[in-house]
Amino acid sequence: MTQEARVAVVSARAARMRHDIIEMIAEAGSGHPGGSLSAADIVATLYFGIMKHDPQRPGWPERDRFVLSKGHAAPVLYAALAQAGYFGRSHLQTLRKLGSILQGHPDCLKCDGVEVSTGSLGQGLAIANGMALALRLTGSTSRVFCLLGDGELQEGEVWEAAMFAAHHGLDTVTAIVDHNGLQIDGACSEVMCLGEVAEKLHAFGWEVREVDGHDVEALLAVLSSPPAVAGVPVAVVARTVKGRGVSFMEGDAGWHGKAPNAEQTKQALAELRESLAAADPEQLSDAPVTEGGDR
Amino acid sequence: MSDRRATREALGETLIELANEGIAVVAVDADLSGSTTTARFGTAFPERFFNVGIAEQNMIGVAAGLAVEGMVPFTGSFAVFATGRAYDQVRNSVCYSGLDVKLAPTHAGITVGPDGGSHQMLEDIALMRVLPGMRVLVPADYVAAKAAIRLAATTPGPFYVRLGRAGVPVLYGDDHRFELDRVRVLREGIHITLAACGVMVEQALVAAEQLALDGIHAEVLDVATIKPLDAQGIAASARKTGAVVTCEEHSVIGGLGSAVAEALGELAPVPLARIGVRDVFGTSGEPAELMAHFGLTGADIARAARRLLERR
């Protein structure tokens, strides 16, 4: 597949995922649209452009792994998994409901394709590191991707884990920060200033790549190229817009954890359908999901 | 009973045995590997030992990740840090995902000694017992500790194995097997049941000797599995003797005493006394001094037993 075609496939997937995200959160009546929409291009790039995985064999040993450390963005993961074919799309309507495989935060015991349960912030990177250690012990070259929120970086365990990955040379780990600048109580800079995220990660021993988190071509590039120095893990700081794709949600912390009402849902879906139409719909039907990245 | 060994000494040694037997054990510790003895495993299997530094939350998280990929990780550190500092990681990273992480921290209870109350963990059984899916083992001696570690390694799901710093007498023979949900009757009796765990099993046996001098025949139970609790086994003994004293080196809130009270309340209500630390923190001192200070000696147990029998 040409690079152009790959960008088109991922963009189309991301557009449809955004539509799914709003539909499922509206149906659930609660959930986290802002951080799900900000991460949609990143997660679409991973599942439809970078990662080796097979929805028919969720436990395929050679797959690349994904840990959604910012577990409240579960809808973006569920949208990707449903589109990839891990489970039927009808499940999306059951989000957050009694008996659903789609819990409010990802539950690996209930849902195929979820590697580990997350939701309590700050814990995913340590788990991803442990997975990478185990994979190294068994001689696997599978990569482990971990998506964190920027507000999540306020959790101390993230920095314990950051130190650990560098110390142990876990260059199969890629940490991605969805840097939308907002958290529940407002701007990260006002709630608890993060300082320079890229500089901090660099100081902790990571190779840091900064990227526009909505530029699929750029995301494909930074997520596919190997570490510049063997043994140095890569952190991707992706600048994003919270609520990206829905005009009235963009850049508004109020949409961190709130479902749209009927009127708002109608408007949001209309906007997202426009984006979806702009993406090439023909790319959706035959998009490969098991093809690996460039590594 | 002259041979005294700390239960913590079992950790590194048993992990080496398990690795040699082909079990995929790995160890994660947090800068206390010498004290917990995981360093011995690290010397024998350096590629399977990971020191996270002074970062207990990360210790549990890394162990969770190792378990996701099929390893059988044991974590070290001291009981106070492994359970208290990293509680949310134990809850959410490990138990909520149902992972095969085995917590085996050392230095539980007041027998840590001079380090004082900050380091004397008296709430860990309560914290671990309430977690869904977590099994809680409190071995009474070095042999039982080895068996408990072996059982945890070979049984799916999260485990908490409570290990101590101080030497305790070796009670069991080398053929001892740890049974997950069975109390062990160490001494049969008819007048009162002494249900003990960990270092308190030694004290319960001392109490039984003292009571025997007065013609009181105490039954001594080693309740090495706090969860799942052998409620039927404890109730059977309670029905036979008609009174129970629980003995633990832990707060009387939430630990063995609470678990036994819950079981007896439902199955066989009998007069009950709880020996343990009574809702206070520990303090500096030598282990033997602290056992007397907090009323955890065999004499204290015997006194409580006599009072209970007078009341009945």
Domain spans in chain B, listed from the N-terminal domain onward? 4-169, 184-311
Indicate the residue type of B306.
Answer: R
- Catalytically active residues of B, by annotation: 56
A110 shares contact with chain B (CB less than 8 Å)? no
For A115, the closest of B55, B68, B91 (CB atoms) is: B68
pLDDT for res A293:
36
Residue pLDDT, tens place only, B60-74: 999 999 999 999 999
CATH architecture, domain B184-311: 3-Layer(aba) Sandwich (3.40)
* A108: nearest CA partner in chain B: B97
C-alpha closest to that of A266 among A94, A13, A19, A77: A19
C-alpha closest to that of A101 among A81, A72, A131: A81
CATH number of B4-169, picked from 3.50.30.30, 3.40.50.970, 3.40.50.2300, 3.40.640.10 = 3.40.50.970
Domains and CATH numbers, chain A: 3-285 (3.40.50.970)
B70 shares contact with chain A (CB less than 8 Å)? yes
For A130, the closest of B64, B92, B96 (CB atoms) is: B64
C-alpha closest to that of A122 among A144, A99, A148, A98: A148
Q: Which helix (H) or strand (E) holds B55?
A: none
pLDDT for res A80:
98
CA distance A119 to B92: 8
Average model confidence (pLDDT) for chain B?
97
Residue pLDDT, tens place only, B38-53: 999 999 999 999 999 9
Low-confidence residues in chain A, pLDDT < 70: 280-295
B156 shares contact with chain A (CB less than 8 Å)? no
Indicate the residue type of A84.
Answer: A
Q: Rounded to two decimals, what is the model's pTM?
A: 0.95
A59 shares contact with chain B (CB less than 8 Å)? no
pLDDT for res A281:
62
What residues are paired with A145 via a beta bridge?
A66, A174
pLDDT for res A288:
42
A135 shares contact with chain B (CB less than 8 Å)? yes
Given a contact cutoff of 8 angstroms between Cβ atoms, the answer to whether B270 and B243 are in contact is: yes
Residue A245 per-residue DSSP state: T
Which residues of chain B have a CB within 8 Å of the CB of A71?
none
Give the model's confidence band at B279: pLDDT under 50 very low, under 70 low, under 90 confident, else very high.
very high
Query: In this complex, do B62 and A116 lie within 8 Å of one another by their Cβ atoms?
Result: no
Query: Tokens 């408990």 label which residue?
Result: B148
Domains B4-169 and B184-311 share a fold: yes
Window 93-152 of B, Cβ < 8 Å to A: 93, 96-99
Q: Residue B101 pLDDT more than 90?
A: yes
pLDDT for res A295:
30
For A131, the closest of B28, B57, B69 (CB atoms) is: B69
Give the model's confidence band at B178: pLDDT under 50 very low, under 70 low, under 90 confident, else very high.
confident
pLDDT for res A292:
40
Q: Residue B251 pLDDT more than 90?
A: yes
CA distance A106 to B275: 43
